[in-house]
Amino acid sequence: MDDKLSRAIEKRRDDLIALTRDLIRFPTINPPGEAYTPCAEFLAKRLQLIGFETQLIRGEGTPGDTDQYPRTNVVARFDGRTHGQTVHFNSHIDVVETGDGWTIDPFEGVVKNGKIYGRGACDMKGGLAASIIAAEAFIEVYPDFAGAIEISGTVDEESGGFGGVAYLASKGFFSKPRVDHVIIPEPLNKDRICLGHRGVWWAEIETKGEIAHGSMPFLGDCAIRHMGAVLEAFEKELFPALDNKQTSMPVVPDGARRSTMNINSIHGGQTDDYSGLPSPNVSDSCRLTIDRRFLLEEDIAEVKREVVSILDRLQWERPKFHYSIRDIMEVQPLMTERDRPIVTAVAEGIRSVFGREPQYVISPGTYDQKHIARIGLLHDCIAYGPGILDLAHRPDEYVGIEDMIESANVMALGLKVLLSRSA
């Protein structure tokens, strides 16, 4: 442990609590992208107080960006006295809708039994606050550090990150030489380092039929029945095959340590918009959205081929079976190597604070690291932050105050390792 650093953080305990509560009080719900600008302005002002230079950057023209709901991001930078490397803490400021089941006001920032409650407390305003306190404490204790610290609050992570990290990355904010190392304080638990995530392929499959009167289905061709055949083939062949594809990636939870696929939606037939009743027709179209999560060991071309080969076979087997398939989104799996400086620096912090080795994990779903790797071409990036992943997006979400303090210590120690030497 570094006593000076941990005292500087402890001294800021009340500040950390107040800052987290202040952030929770901005109802930055996405969609539609509520209160982004006031939240970004608040962060800019707060960081200016401790000497950061700040910029507000709007993700102009990105999905959802309107004058009513501008995609406002904040990027702040503090340059040390000598040249060195830059460490960037990136947090998303958007939160998901509250949903039902809350026993307290989700936007009040209630403090109870050592925890701060609210939508976004754990995912991830607690992590954002911890990174600010860590930077503040580090700058106070080591004012002569080499390099620079950046802190950003970005939007739209929960809807793909296009107006946030993807936009900033396209403007060079997540590339060398500006930035060398990135920590994303997502709630992955205070003693775990998240190295990356599985890959994603979203696609829409459509089966085609022929419309006819519902009383004489033999005159038409039902697209929904064709889709039934697709689902049956998936059940019999694809799902068991995916279950057998294990990975060496340390994905948590254990159930995600293999290939998975979800059927996100299915839609077929015409409905009457007014009454909600179906119209008496044979359906000529049925659409299915699949969400396939794949592994480092898999190739995306092969992932797609598995699905397409089933559809092609049905085209041979089933009379009048016609289909089309459309890609919606694809993200490659990512795993930062364990010997990267950002990993070894944060690991050293975890060893020092908790007296044990960190656990290295991979997230089942993607987060903004994908844009930093693909657009920014920066591979020295991890997710590390306080909060319990399982609480994210749930009612009565909270973050533990002690967990934030301990994480802030780990982050500050990481800064000390990375910024102690001139480049």
Of residues 295 and 383, the one with the C-beta less far from Zn ion: 383
| Sequence letter at residue 10 | E
- Contact call for residue 124 and Zn ion (CB under 5 A): yes
Stretch near Zn ion under the rule CB under 5 A, chosen from 70-78, 120-128, 144-152, 396-404:
120-128
Per-residue H/E/C for 106-119: CCCCCEECCEEECC
Cβ neighbors of 419 (< 8 A, separation 6 or more) are 80, 84, 85, 87, 138, 142, 145, 146, 147, 149
Stretch near Zn ion under the rule CB under 5 A, chosen from 33-41, 99-107, 118-126, 171-179:
118-126
The site string for Zn ion over 184-203 (x = CB under 5 A, - otherwise) reads --x-----------------
In whole angstroms, the minimum distance from the beta carbon of 157 to Zn ion comes to 6
Stretch near Zn ion under the rule CB under 5 A, chosen from 60-68, 121-129, 340-348, 409-417:
121-129
In whole angstroms, the minimum distance from the beta carbon of 171 to Zn ion comes to 22
- Through-space distance between the first and last CA atoms of the chain, rounded to whole angstroms: 25
In whole angstroms, the minimum distance from the beta carbon of 186 to Zn ion comes to 5
In whole angstroms, the minimum distance from the beta carbon of 258 to Zn ion comes to 23
Of residues 124 and 362, the one with the C-beta less far from Zn ion: 124
DSSP assignment letter at 254: G
Cβ atoms within 10 Å of 200's Cβ, excluding its own: 20
Under 8 Å between Cβ of 194 and 362 = yes
The site string for Zn ion over 148-187 (x = CB under 5 A, - otherwise) reads --------------------------------------x-
DSSP assignment letter at 278: B
| Count of residues that interact with Zn ion, criterion CB under 5 A | 3
Of residues 186 and 221, the one with the C-beta less far from Zn ion: 186
Cβ atoms within 10 Å of 229's Cβ, excluding its own: 16
DSSP string, 319-342: TT-EEEEEEEEEE--EE--TTSHH
In whole angstroms, the minimum distance from the beta carbon of 93 to Zn ion comes to 10
In whole angstroms, the minimum distance from the beta carbon of 371 to Zn ion comes to 14
Count Cα neighbours of 95 within 13 Å in the Cβ-side half-sphere: 32
Of residues 165 and 290, the one with the C-beta less far from Zn ion: 165
Of residues 194 and 373, the one with the C-beta less far from Zn ion: 194
Of residues 194 and 203, the one with the C-beta less far from Zn ion: 194
Cβ neighbors of 248 (< 8 A, separation 6 or more) are 296, 297
Closest CA to 387 of 194, 188, 197, 195: 188
Structure-block tokens of residue 176: 């060398």
Q: Which residue is nearest to Zn ion (CB)?
A: 123
Of residues 36 and 321, the one with the C-beta less far from Zn ion: 36
Of residues 72 and 154, the one with the C-beta less far from Zn ion: 154
Residue 44's H or E segment, with its range, is helix 36-49
CA distances to 104, 108, 132 from 92, rounded to whole Å, are 23, 19, 13
- Contact call for residue 123 and Zn ion (CB under 5 A): yes
Count Cα neighbours of 72 within 13 Å in the Cβ-side half-sphere: 19
- Contact call for residue 94 and Zn ion (CB under 5 A): no
Of residues 119 and 416, the one with the C-beta less far from Zn ion: 119
In whole angstroms, the minimum distance from the beta carbon of 92 to Zn ion comes to 6
In whole angstroms, the minimum distance from the beta carbon of 18 to Zn ion comes to 22
Of residues 90 and 259, the one with the C-beta less far from Zn ion: 90
Under 8 Å between Cβ of 140 and 8 = yes
CA 70 to chain centre: 20
In whole angstroms, the minimum distance from the beta carbon of 392 to Zn ion comes to 6
Cβ neighbors of 305 (< 8 A, separation 6 or more) are none
Of residues 258 and 371, the one with the C-beta less far from Zn ion: 371
Closest CA to 202 of 326, 63, 333: 326
270 to 309, contacts with Zn ion by CB under 5 A? none
How many Å apart are CA 293 and CA 201, to the nearest integer?
6
Strand partners, 115: 112, 400
In whole angstroms, the minimum distance from the beta carbon of 37 to Zn ion comes to 20
In whole angstroms, the minimum distance from the beta carbon of 308 to Zn ion comes to 33
Instruction: List interacting residues with Zn ion (CB under 5 A).
Output: 123-124, 186
